[in-house]
Chain A
Amino acid sequence: MMPGWVKSKWRYFVVAALMIFLVLLPFKWFLGQYTSIMIFIGISTMITVGLCLLMGYTGQVSLGQAAYYGLGAYFSAVLSKTYGWNPWLAMVIAAIATGSFAYIIGYPIFRLRGNYLAMATLGIGLIMWVLFNQLSQYTGGPDGMSGIPYLSIGGFAFDTNFKRYFLVWFFCLAILFLSQNIVRSRTGRALRAIHGNEAAAQSLGINVTQFKVKIFVLSSVYASLAGSLFAHHLRHVSPQSFDFLASVKLVVMAVIGGLASVWGAIFGAGTTRLLSDKLLLGFNQFPQLDIIIYGLILMLVMIFTPEGLFIALKSGIKWLQLNWRHLPEIMRTQGKELPHRIKDRLTRLVPARWWRKAEP
């Protein structure tokens, strides 16, 4: 039996274990070969958290999140390379510029809801993508631009994957903790109220539009920071990283992570990145497999567990915790019903009268 204080503080143990794991990961004798992909997971997590706040907690769709990611990356790249600014300053300016842009378009955009909001954000994402391609005297056009300087503090340059790993995950964890605090604060409760029922939230004195715009700006700033880190990590940016599929990929990450879950974002970004960068590389003779799988994931998760895969897994684990003593018994009784339940699920796909015999 676990002592009570362990039980009540188990969250801290989980977080501490995660920290130790993350600190040890990039060392050669541990999982050093995953350092590079973990950097990308960290960058993706930062954007996904923003998307979760927006989609999961506030219930607003954004299908153009890659645009703000791209804005951050291009602002950083252009300011630090072409104009020779200090990369840190470029990063801050990029975040401010992206945030201001989001603020300006936020007020008109968030007068829309549901489908129209989704189309509008998709449209803005595509406009940005066309601009990244066409403003070639600044952005280098479809080929992108290379030779972006590394970030550095004093004389200490972040010039290896090992160093950049800690930099990216420092930012990523800072954003995760900040977001968690927001979710648990008055703001977070206001956001959930908006998700639940906008009219009710408004009648309780919550300024609905203002909260939506605020969280939209926050998520765009997250994406911009991620973009800056991305630019200074790869030292090369090109429009392909910020197209429609990139935005969809971010939605996939948020959906896997559980839309309304801050820590699920790591899980979502991690699974998606590992899936596309490690597992599917072996299937070169089967191109586009990653897109097909993303499409399937989006449909299946939304149809069967609309709250997201991570949350479904979590509640599954909780159920096991409560019921593990009775597991054999449950298996015995439920096992008999299982074929029927599967049949029930499947027959939802076909109208009943097509497969069931006509009743006498």
Chain B
Amino acid sequence: MSGLTQGSIYALIGLGFTIIYSVTQIINFAQGEFVMLGGMLSYILAVKSGLPIPLAILIAILIAAIVGALMYILAIRTARRASVISLIIITIGFAIFIRGIAGNQFGVNAVSPAAFTSGHSIQLGSLDAYIAPQALWIIGITFLVTIALYLFLSHTMVGKALRACAVNPGAARLVGINTKAMALIAFTIAAAIGGIGGVAIAPLTMASYGMGVMLGLKGFVAASIGGFMSPTTTVVGGIMLGIVESLAVGLDWGPFTSAYKDVIALVVLLLILLIRSGKLATAERAG
């Protein structure tokens, strides 16, 4: 079950990568920082400022979304005609900028906000397995976000315009779609989804100002399992990664213990990149 929970979070982060990449062909290395922002802000607002938890969560997600929009307006759009290397460096610069601000404002200690609903772990039927209520929240939220995103992309005008940009930006512009506005929307949605992921995971695993890099990388793994194509494949990829990782928890083989859990995700990343390298290379060249 912990695999499914973790995997849901990776799926949410991966969704952010997928949306931004498909609309703008940019890999946003700051995606993990939105998760960090969501987690840290929900704690700060709920505990330090004493807001009720639902309001704190809502504001945290909103702020993450605004930061995402600002990122596009201030950092991405101003760099016109930038090369891939420049864009990578810009998004990394934004990532560590946000990380520095967070470490400065919220402190460098890990914090653990209250769970959405209190209560003991629930036993699953007669099995010897227990699940925390927060884990149910996470899985449910991921499910809802995926459905909502799917409906948004397939049933609204803006969603269809976003997909048009993903298929062919030039043609999208020809039929009168404002590609820049679409990119702004993509960044905002991705940041909001990242913020949702952060808000949901923080009560379970704690949040700290430096959590963004590792989570971002795992979200990238999820998105690349899905090939940056559609929300559904990304979610499947994230959950697969979570389950593979959870298999490592009981691992005790020679020097390799469960401390190497993160290495497994990274090795999966390298394997996927290498297996798909031929396809990715042609996609990059065409893009």
Contact = CB atoms under 8 A, between A and B. Distances in A.
Interface in A281-337: 286-299, 302-303, 306
B93 A302 contact: yes
A349 B274 CA distance: 38
Nearest to A126: B266
A93 B82 CA distance: 41
Nearest to A137: B255
A141 to B, nearest CB: 10
Contacts of B89: 251, 255, 298, 302
A106 to B, nearest CB: 12
B217 A123 contact: yes
A242 B108 CA distance: 19
A135 B78 CA distance: 44
B220 interface: yes
A89 interface: no
A291 B123 CA distance: 45
A130 B75 CA distance: 31
A302 B79 contact: yes
A124 interface: yes
State the majority secondary structure of interface residues on B.
helix
Contacts of B278: 111
Given A61-B85, A120-B273, A126-B217, A296 B284 contact: no
Interface in A101-117: 108, 111-116
B96 A248 contact: yes
Given A112-B281, A126-B213, A288-B100, A306 B83 contact: yes
A134 interface: yes
A285 to B, nearest CB: 10
Contacts of B171: none
B6 to A, nearest CB: 17
Contact of B27 (A119, A137, A302): A119
A244 interface: yes
Q: Interface centre among B209, B278, B281, by most A CB within 10 Å? A: B281
B214 A126 contact: yes
Interface in B163-198: none
A124 B270 contact: yes
Interface in B84-101: 84-86, 88-90, 92-101
A122 B278 CA distance: 20
Interface in B262-276: 262-263, 266-267, 269-270, 273-274
A69 to B, nearest CB: 18
A172 interface: no
Interface residues of B, number: 53
Nearest to A286: B104
B100 A289 contact: yes
A111 B282 CA distance: 11
Nearest to B75: A299
B3 interface: no
Interface in A237-256: 244-245, 248, 251, 255
Given A287-B108, A292-B104, A114 B269 contact: no
A280 to B, nearest CB: 11
A296 B266 contact: no
A206 B83 CA distance: 23
Contact of B273 (A59, A112, A134): A112
B96 A295 contact: yes
B259 interface: yes
B284 A114 contact: yes
Nearest to B101: A292
Nearest to A112: B277
B159 interface: no
B280 interface: yes
Contacts of B103: 287-288, 291
A124 B27 CA distance: 18
A306 B281 CA distance: 24
A204 B226 CA distance: 36
Nearest to A119: B220
A157 to B, nearest CB: 35
A112 B278 CA distance: 8
Among B95, B99, B100, B281, max chain A CB count under 10 A is at B100
Instruction: Name which of B83, B96, B273 has the most chain A CB atoms within 10 A of its CB.
Output: B96
Contacts of A118: 27, 29, 88
A127 interface: yes
Nearest to B283: A116
Given A113-B281, A287-B104, A303 B262 contact: no
A123 B104 contact: no
A209 B70 CA distance: 38
Given A123-B217, A288-B101, A298-B96, 17 more contacts: A108-B277, A112-B273, A112-B280, A112-B281, A115-B84, A127-B263, A130-B266, A131-B263, A135-B255, A244-B213, A288-B103, A292-B97, A294-B96, A302-B90, A306-B82, A349-B73, A349-B78
10 contacts: A63-B92, A118-B29, A119-B27, A123-B270, A134-B259, A288-B108, A288-B209, A303-B75, A303-B78, A348-B77
Interface of A: 55, 59, 61, 63, 108, 111-116, 118-120, 122-124, 126-127, 130-131, 134-135, 137, 244-245, 248, 251, 255, 259, 286-299, 302-303, 306, 348-350
4 tightest A-B CB contacts, nearest first: A295-B97, A298-B93, A291-B100, A292-B100
